Amino acid sequence: MSYFEGKTVLVTGAATGVGEGVAQRLYQAGATVFISGRQLEQVKKTAYTIDPTGEKVIALQADMTSPEQVKSMFEAILAQTGALHGLVNNAGITGPHNTSIVDYNIDDWKAVMDTDINGVFYGLKYGIPALLRSGGGSIVNLSSTNGIVGIAGISAYTAAKHAVLGITRSAALEFAQQGIRVNAIGPGYVDTPRMQQLPDEVRQWMASTHPMKRMATRKEVANMVAFLLSDESSFSTGAFYAVDGGYTAQ
């Protein structure tokens, strides 16, 4: 499948996890993929793992909580390639688990919000002009099953992922007639390398929360992202797509 030959896409927070899986999927589909993260050496390692030639997967350092760094990242991409056709706002953190709102540390709350929603805002603010300059394109924002349901003990993450849906819909409406599509996806638990390090009983519980009784693979999430970035989804914008094995149907 070569949907993305001649296309350039940025995936934020792609040093590992879901972002890495998305970057690999897009590279396999022919895209030139920029991947970003806070730790440049880790991002470089991931880029080399996907594409040892260094020609079509390029590492960039950017902290998505810094508007200046996000702006500079898009400027660097345009300076290097002259165009940007797709954006995946993937960078995010979960924050503390099993913590009541009344016990939630304020600095932890701010850190989750700054990464998970402010980072998406900065990505849209500086990424949309780059897409417009390139003739239009598609954006996929990573929300979560927590974007449409509540889960006790992770209020900041849940609130931020709900907010991702709001900004996705607003951006989609604002640019619907300008060749920009904006959608969000909501993965359930994904079997990433980090998840694989958890105790077996925790992994089994996570799998059991989905009606399909397993976690998603990174490829399954990446396939949905690739579909929404491609022209195969050309009439889809402002929507939320669950990739959760039936979790939110319960």
Q: What is the mean pLDDT of the chain?
A: 96
pTM above 0.75, yes or no: yes
Report the distance separating Cα 161 and Cα 117, nearest Å. 7
Which percentage of the chain shows pLDDT scores above 70? 99
pLDDT digits (tens, 9 = 90+) for 154-200: 999 999 999 999 999 999 999 999 999 999 999 999 999 889 999 99
What is the C-alpha separation between 21 and 1, in angstroms, rounded? 16
- Domains along the chain with CATH numbers: 6-241 (3.40.50.720)
8 Å CB contact between 61 and 40: yes
Residue range 229-238: mean pLDDT, rounded:
97
First to last CA, the chain: 34
Residue-wise pLDDT for 220-230, tens only, equals: 999 999 999 99
Per-residue confidence band for 8, with pLDDT thresholds at 50, 70 and 90: very high
Q: How far apart are CA 249 and CA 151, in angstroms?
A: 15
pLDDT of residue 3: 81
Query: Which of 53, 46, 49 lies closest to 11 in space, CA to CA?
Result: 46
Decide: 174 and 237 in contact? Cβ < 8 Å. Answer: no
The reported pLDDT for the residue numbered 2 is: 64
In this model, does residue 1 exceed pLDDT 90?
no
The 10s digit of each residue's pLDDT in 111-135 is 999 999 999 999 999 999 999 999 9
Give the alpha-carbon dihedral of 47, 52, 54, 58, to 10 degrees.
Answer: -10
Rounded CA Rg of the chain? 17
Which tokens in the block code for residue 103? Answer: 């016990």
Nearest CA to 69 out of 110, 7, 123 is that of 123
Q: Which of 157, 189, 241, 247 is catalytic?
A: 157
157 among known catalytic residues: yes
Q: How confident is the model at residue 142 (pLDDT cuts 50, 70, 90)?
A: very high
User: What is the structure's pLDDT at 194?
Assistant: 87
